[in-house]
């Protein structure tokens, strides 16, 4: 089950499908996934929607093994221009919605004695955002704290909780917030001198969601071309 609010999440949906998973996805409006995924439309920040997503997924498939919290709000706004409303929206999408989805899916995974939860955070959550601003940095750092706290409490039920922290990835969202010239300069400064790809991020998510990652929990898995080494 993936919450995904932008086209740049396509690879993060298709990769699990290619590996045999049945996929449910939350989108706000239209999608290209209807032929092969259970599409659940709704605004993830609206009251009751996270619980509805989990309930519909359970009704359709009979179980929920994996939750990927993929939705993101990342409008590039500098601190002097940042409004309280934009701050609130970033926290609702990037931190509160994942919390509510984890809460909703927990009883199911507990009963199954198995679950994989993957929160898509960011390098911004590990240090500071290059493009996204204070609201993005704070919300993604908060998501890492949620990841660790949930991992500590849910591990006894067979549930792992990890975060994937992409750096500068070549996506629609990235290109909306930065000029081609800036992206070229940034990429050239990395030890691996290029932008990452959505498929590379999807592969890391698939690993974190797999049985092979059963002894990994509470981790922040970096994928940033060496831009941040911790």
DSSP 181-218: HHHHHHHHTSSS-S-B-HHHHHHHHHHHTSGGGTT--S
Asked if 120 contacts 166 with a C-beta cutoff of 8 angstroms, the reply is: yes
Q: What are phi and psi of 7, to 5 degrees?
A: -65, -25
Q: CA dihedral defined by 75, 77, 81, 86, rounded to 10 degrees?
A: 30
| Interatomic CA distance for residues 171 and 186, integer angstroms | 15
**φ/ψ of residue 164, rounded to 5:** -105, 130
Catalytic residue of the set 136, 157, 190, 215 = 136
Helix (H, G, I), strand (E, B) or coil at 46: coil
Q: In the annotation, is 190 catalytic?
A: no
- Give every CB contact of residue 93 below 8 A, 6+ residues apart in sequence: 5, 44, 45, 71, 72, 73, 139
Helices (H), 33-122: 49-61, 84-91, 97-112
User: What are the strands of the beta sheet with 115-120, ordered from one edge?
Assistant: 38-41, 24-27, 2-3, 66-69, 115-120, 159-166, 220-223
Provide the annotated active-site residues. 136
């Amino acid at each position: 089950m993936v919450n995904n609010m932008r086209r740049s999440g396509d690879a993060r949906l298709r990769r699990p499908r290619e590996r045999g998973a049945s996929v449910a996805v939350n989108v706000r409006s239209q999608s290209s996934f209807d032929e092969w995924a259970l599409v659940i439309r709704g605004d993830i920040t609206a009251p009751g929607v996270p619980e509805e997503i989990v309930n519909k997924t359970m009704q359709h498939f009979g179980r929920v093994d994996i939750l990927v919290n993929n939705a993101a709000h990342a409008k590039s706004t500098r601190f002097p221009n940042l409004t309280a409303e934009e701050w609130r929206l970033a926290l609702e999408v990037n931190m509160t919605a994942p919390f509510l989805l984890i809460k909703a899916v927990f009883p199911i995974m507990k009963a199954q004695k198995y679950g994989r939860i993957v929160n898509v955070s960011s390098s911004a959550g590990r240090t500071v955002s290059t493009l996204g601003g204070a609201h993005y940095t704070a919300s993604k750092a908060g998501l890492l704290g949620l990841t660790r706290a949930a991992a500590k409490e849910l591990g006894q039920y067979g549930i792992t909780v990890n975060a994937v922290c992409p750096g500068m990835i070549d996506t629609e969202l990235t290109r909306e917030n930065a000029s081609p010239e800036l992206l070229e300069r940034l990429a050239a400064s990395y030890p691996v001198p290029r932008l990452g790809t959505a498929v590379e991020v999807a592969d890391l998510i698939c690993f974190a969601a797999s049985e092979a990652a059963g002894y990994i929990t509470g981790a922040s898995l970096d994928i940033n071309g060496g831009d941040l080494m911790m």
